Amino acid sequence: MYEELPNGFTGMPRRGRATTGNPWAPTPRSAQANVSSGASSAAHKMPNDNPWGSSGWSANASAGMAQGSFALSYAREVDPETEDGPRSFDPDKLRMIPAADRRWAWSEIDLSAIRYNTQTLKARLRPGVAMMAVVKADGYGHGAVRCAKTALNAGADYLGVATVEEAIALREGLVNAPILVLSEPPISAIPLLLGYKVMPSIYSVEFAIQYGEAADAFSMKAPYHLAVNTGMNRIGVAHDHVVEFLRQIDFHRALELRGTFTHFATADAVQSLDFERQQHRFEAALAAMRMAGFNPGIVHAANSAAIIRFPQVHYDMVRLGIALYGLQPADITRSMVELRPAMSVKARITDTRFLPMSEGVSYGLAYRSPGSVKICTVPIGYADGLRRGLSGRTDFIVSGQRMHQVGAICMDQCMFEVDMRTYGTRRRIDPQVGDEVIIVGREGQSIVTLDDMARTLDTITHEIAIGFGCSRMTRLFV
C-alpha cells in the first residue's frame, strides 16, 4: 500500500528479467534507446551486476549478504517458480530489527538490582510487616510490570500506583497482587476499579457511596484504603475528622475498609519536628477510629526515607518507592543503607570530528574547541531525559574514562569532547563511530549517577530517573 504514495520511493527499473507489463520495468522508450545505441542488452547479458540480487527474484538472503545487501534478508519470500512480482520488504521481518539497532540510545534496567533492593529493605522490617512496591510513573521510569514482578518475587506483597491506567497496565501484564491507587480517582473510573480489581484511596463521601453502590450492583465487595491528611495537605480526610467521615459512609454494606494510611512531607529532612507532629496526628486518628469501633485494617505511612530512618512508623506495611530502584531518598540515608541503582543510560557515537582551536560547538557556540580535542556526537538529547540544564555540566564515560559533555544539549543529540593530548601515564582514547558511551552508569573506576545529575540541577533523583525512563528511549532489561 505504501508503494502508492507519492513519497519519493518510486520503483527502480530492474535489469535482468522479462519486463512486459511490469510497472517497475524500463520504459519502452529507454529500451528502444538501448537497442539503437547497440548497448542494447547490457542488462540482459550481465544480470550479475545487479547489486540488489544476482539471480532474479530467487536471490536468497545469504546471497544478498554476500554482496553486501544485508537488507535482502528483510525481503518478503517470493515464489521461485513464477519469480513474479516486485521484491518488497516484509513488515514482520522489519519488526525483528531490535530497538537499540534502530537508534543508538537506550536505557538499561538491571532487574537483579531491583531484587537486591527489595530484599535489603525487607530485611530491615520487623517480621510480619508487609511491603508495598510503589511502581507509579511506569516504575519511576524503570518499567512497572517487570519491576513489579521482580519486587513481588523478592518479597513485596502489595503494589502502589498513581492512576487507574497504571493499575490496568499491571493487570494486563498479568500481575495478580493487590493494587492500591494512591489517590482517589474520578467517580467515572469506578467501573474500571471493580472490573480490574484495583483498590482506590478514598477521602470523599460521594466517591465512597458511588463506589459501594457500583460494587453492590455486581454483588461485589468494595475494598478501599482511607487516606488521612496529617500535615502534608495534599489529599486525605483531616486527621481529626476521620471518625466523622467513616460514620457518614459506614452504612454501606459493600464498602470494606482494608487499610488506613498517611503520607509524610518531611521524612527526608534533617529536622524531625514536623515529622513527629504528623506521626502523632496519625496515631491519634487511629486510636479514635478504634475507640469508635472502626478497624483501620492495614496501617501504613512510611515512604523510602521513613523506611530507612524511622522504624517506629513501619506499622503494618511500608511503601517502598525510590529506594526500590536503588536511588537514595536523601543524603542522610546514604550512610544507612547500601542500594544498587537499577538504571543506566547508554548510547553509541554517531559522528566524530577534529576541530581547530576556537571553533564552536552546538547551538549558541558557547563552547569553543581548545584545539586538541575530538568532538563526538551521541544521539541522545533533552527529549530523552538528558536535561538541557546539564549542558557542559555532566560527564560521559568512554572506555572507563570520563569525558566532558560540551555545547548545548539539543533535543535529540549532544556532543562530548575527547582530549587527544598525550601526557603523563594517561591512556589516550580515540573513540570511533559505533563505540559505546555511558551517560549514566559505571565502568571501571568511573561513575556518573542520576544522583549527580539531580544535584547539578538542584532537584531530586525521582525526576531525573523518570525523565530518562519515561522518554521515547527504548528500555532494555538486563
Ligand X SMILES: *Cc1c(COP(=O)(O)O)cnc(C)c1O
Pick 148 or 376: Cβ nearer ligand X: 148
For residue 4, give the C-alpha cell.
Answer: 502508492
Pick 182 or 299: Cβ nearer ligand X: 182
- Closest separation in Å from C-beta 400 to ligand X: 32
For the residues of 330-390, what is the DSSP string, one character each? SGGGTTT------EEEEEE--EEEE--TT-EESGGG-EE--SSEEEEEES--GGGT--GGG
Pick 152 or 182: Cβ nearer ligand X: 182
Pick 133 or 376: Cβ nearer ligand X: 133
Cα 321 to Cα 450: distance, rounded to the nearest angstrom: 15
User: Which candidate, 470, 436, 473, 467, places its Cα nearest to that of 453?
Assistant: 467
In angstroms, the Cα distances linking 304 to 279, 327, 348 are 16, 10, 34
**CB-closest chain residue to ligand X:** 321
- Closest separation in Å from C-beta 115 to ligand X: 17
Pick 64 or 321: Cβ nearer ligand X: 321
Pick 160 or 385: Cβ nearer ligand X: 160
Cα 228 to Cα 6: distance, rounded to the nearest angstrom: 61
Give CB contacts under 8 A, 24+ apart, made by 233-239: 233/265, 234/263, 235/183, 235/184, 235/201, 235/203, 235/263, 236/203, 236/262, 236/263, 237/203, 239/281, 239/282, 239/284, 239/285
Residues classed as catalytic: 136, 363
Q: At what angle do helices 273-291 and 242-249 cross, to 10 degrees?
A: 40
- Closest separation in Å from C-beta 111 to ligand X: 18
Residues that bind ligand X (CB under 6 A): 134, 136, 182, 263, 303-305, 319-322, 329
- Closest separation in Å from C-beta 234 to ligand X: 9
- Closest separation in Å from C-beta 322 to ligand X: 4
Amino acid at 346: K
Amino acid at 205: V
For residue 68, give the C-alpha cell.
Answer: 553486501
Give me the residue label for grid cell 527526608: 268
- Closest separation in Å from C-beta 141 to ligand X: 12
Cα 334 to Cα 336: distance, rounded to the nearest angstrom: 6
For residue 463, give the C-alpha cell.
Answer: 525526576
- Closest separation in Å from C-beta 409 to ligand X: 26
User: Which candidate, 400, 430, 434, places its Cα nearest to that of 418?
Assistant: 430
Cα 248 to Cα 439: distance, rounded to the nearest angstrom: 54
- Closest separation in Å from C-beta 466 to ligand X: 11
Pick 212 or 259: Cβ nearer ligand X: 259
Pick 118 or 413: Cβ nearer ligand X: 118
Interacting residues of 398 by C-beta distance below 8 A, sequence separation 6+: 376, 418, 429, 431, 435, 436, 437, 438
Cα 30 to Cα 397: distance, rounded to the nearest angstrom: 56
Pick 228 or 380: Cβ nearer ligand X: 228
Q: How many CB atoms lie within 10 A of CB 413?
A: 19
In angstroms, the Cα distances linking 443 to 395, 400, 438, 448, 469 are 13, 5, 8, 9, 21
In angstroms, the Cα distances linking 192 to 62, 202, 213 are 51, 15, 14
Cα 192 to Cα 279: distance, rounded to the nearest angstrom: 33
- Closest separation in Å from C-beta 95 to ligand X: 35
Q: How many CB atoms lie within 10 A of CB 29?
A: 8
